[in-house]
């Protein structure tokens, strides 16, 4: 069974939801949180490793990074740097393949089953995002080299600048992100990348809580889910067919506030431990201000 890897700096109120759901569906999977001191308290649920031990290449990229987005430089840079962190972690720990998940993704399927299904994938995108990524170490190395070449090649750099200007003209905000780089890599190396967001009725992965209105029934500007036997199902608009979702991605602050209500196995222990981790988070915030 392939391991699961999360990368998250600091502590956040929703993290316990993510790790509880992971253990509810995959109690024995080897799972890592590459994080900072604030998240060490989740160690009973997940193996914590310090991110600073895997930031050499990420920091080197930070020295050459140029910002092409109306979003904050810190946010966009961290999103790109995480791939260098993951690469360094996998190389140092001799991990050939893993499932990388963003820390706001709830998982509802057996990783052994999914890992076998996507064993042939070098990298997976969910739509245009890498938040659910069955990724091979060698392909990740190649992707990181690809990123580096874009920011050091005058031709590629100029292309990013043109992309940014065109994006702003069309959308008014946003710009170059790690999703831009992932999409460009998929175009350059199509044999290395598989898109796992399906809209044809087969079991799929969620690109984001509020994305999918073209295909799926929505309610209050988000995908409508029904739980059957503790598994989430969306509904295709055209056929009314129920479609099983292996994950739900709670992108955005409003979505994250609702994560707990999408955990089907909530019990007294869940609420008790949730309160415990909230108290820890609150105490960390208080101590930070002192």
- pLDDT at residue 289, rounded to an integer: 82
- pLDDT at residue 22, rounded to an integer: 98
Average pLDDT, the chain: 95
Instruction: Classify the phi-psi angles of 33: left when phi > 0, otherwise alpha if psi is within -120 to 50, otherwise beta.
Output: beta
- pLDDT at residue 161, rounded to an integer: 85
Report the percent of the chain where pLDDT is more than 90: 88
In order of start, what are the domains of the chain with their CATH numbers? 4-289 (3.90.550)
- Burial bucket for residue 128 (CB in 10 Å: 0-12, 13-18, 19+): middle
| pTM given for the model | 0.95
Which residue has tokens 């009973």? 44
> How many Å apart are CA 174 and CA 93, to the nearest integer?
35
- Window from 96-100, 148-152, 233-237, 244-248 with minimum mean pLDDT: 148-152
- pLDDT of 155 > 90? The answer is no
- pLDDT of 290 > 80? The answer is no
Q: What mean pLDDT is predicted for residues 6-31? A: 97
Q: What mean pLDDT is predicted for residues 51-72? A: 95
């Amino acid at each position: 069974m392939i391991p699961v890897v999360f990368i998250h700096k600091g502590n956040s109120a929703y993290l316990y939801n993510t790790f509880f759901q992971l253990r509810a569906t995959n109690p024995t999977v080897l799972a890592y949180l590459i994080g900072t001191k604030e998240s060490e308290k989740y160690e009973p649920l997940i193996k914590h490793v310090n991110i600073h031990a895997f930031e050499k290449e990420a920091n080197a990229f930070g020295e050459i990074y140029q910002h092409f987005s109306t979003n904050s430089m810190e946010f966009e840079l961290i999103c790109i740097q995480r791939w260098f962190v993951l690469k360094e972690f996998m190389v140092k720990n001799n991990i050939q393949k893993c499932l990388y998940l963003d820390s706001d993704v709830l998982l509802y399927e057996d990783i052994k089953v999914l890992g076998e299904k996507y064993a042939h994938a070098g990298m997976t995108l969910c739509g245009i995002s890498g938040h659910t990524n069955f990724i091979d170490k060698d392909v990740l190395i190649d992707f990181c080299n690809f990123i580096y070449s874009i920011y050091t090649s005058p031709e590629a750099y100029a292309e990013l600048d043109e992309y940014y200007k065109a994006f702003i003209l069309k959308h008014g905000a946003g710009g170059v992100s790690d999703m831009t780089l992932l999409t460009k890599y998929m175009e350059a190396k199509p044999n290395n990348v598989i898109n796992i967001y399906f809209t044809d009725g087969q079991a799929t992965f969620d690109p984001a809580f509020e994305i999918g209105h073209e295909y799926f029934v929505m309610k209050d500007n988000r995908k409508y889910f029904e739980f059957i036997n503790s598994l989430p199902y969306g509904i295709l608009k055209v056929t009314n067919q129920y479609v099983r979702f292996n994950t739900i991605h709670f992108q955005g602050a409003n979505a994250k506030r609702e994560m707990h209500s999408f955990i089907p196995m909530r019990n007294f222990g869940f609420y008790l431990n949730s309160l415990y981790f909230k108290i820890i988070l609150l105490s960390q915030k208080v101590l930070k201000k002192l």
